[in-house]
């Protein structure tokens, strides 16, 4: 997979692609503008201290694609970066992965993230030949939990004190879907 040319269409005006190093300032501004909101759910926000830190993060993501098969993509609405998602954990020999995602609050509630996750599931099961895909989110993040629930994931349970967020531990809701379940629901 070539990070320079990879493009995953979602809708007419929405695409997923790798964030380029020259977009570091746009990524930093997006995170910084939404910092208080994102800190409620994501442990990496404080590491985004400026455009240079964002550029290092982007380059690190691209390297993980090459060395670990991970997939970390920007969400673009009419060419504008509005969030990020991807396979943040892949266990290739087990053919399983975990999806992580975030989107700027002004774009929530419009079905964008659900459509992006749907596109990534299609890609993961059909192109990467994954067997199992998992999503986890804070038990308090109702919007995030609604996505796997809408897409037919199975709720597997609560992982207690699963993620450390700055000054406390959060419990996580764990969801998964298998390739045959996804394909039968989507007649692929």
Domains by residue range for the chain, with CATH: 7-186 (3.40.630.30)
Question: Which pLDDT score is estimated for 5?
Answer: 78
Q: What is the pLDDT of residues 114-134, one digit of tens each?
A: 999 999 999 999 999 999 999
Question: Which pLDDT score is estimated for 98?
Answer: 95
Question: Which pLDDT score is estimated for 90?
Answer: 84
Task: State the average pLDDT over residues 98-120.
Answer: 96
CA distances to 11, 87, 101, 123, 145 from 38, rounded to whole Å, are 25, 19, 11, 26, 15
60 pLDDT tier (thresholds 50, 70, 90): confident
């Amino acid at each position: 997979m070539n990070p320079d040319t990879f493009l995953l269409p979602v809708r007419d005006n929405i695409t997923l692609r790798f964030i380029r190093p020259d977009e570091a300032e746009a990524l930093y501004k997006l995170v910084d503008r939404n910092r208080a909101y994102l800190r409620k759910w994501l442990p990496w926000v404080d590491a985004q201290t400026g455009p240079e830190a964002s550029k290092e993060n982007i380059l690190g993501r691209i390297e993980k694609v090459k060395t670990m098969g991970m997939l970390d993509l920007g969400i673009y609405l009419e060419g504008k970066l509005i969030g990020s998602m991807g396979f943040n954990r892949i266990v290739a020999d087990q053919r399983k992965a975990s999806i992580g995602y975030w989107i700027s609050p002004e774009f929530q509630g419009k079905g964008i993230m659900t459509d992006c996750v749907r596109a990534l599931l299609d890609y993961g099961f059909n192109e990467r030949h994954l067997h199992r895909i998992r999503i986890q989110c804070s038990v308090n993040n109702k919007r995030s939990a609604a996505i796997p629930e809408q897409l037919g994931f199975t709720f597997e349970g609560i992982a207690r004190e699963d993620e450390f967020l700055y000054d406390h531990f959060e419990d996580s809701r764990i969801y998964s879907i298998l390739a045959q379940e996804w394909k039968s629901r989507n007649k692929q």
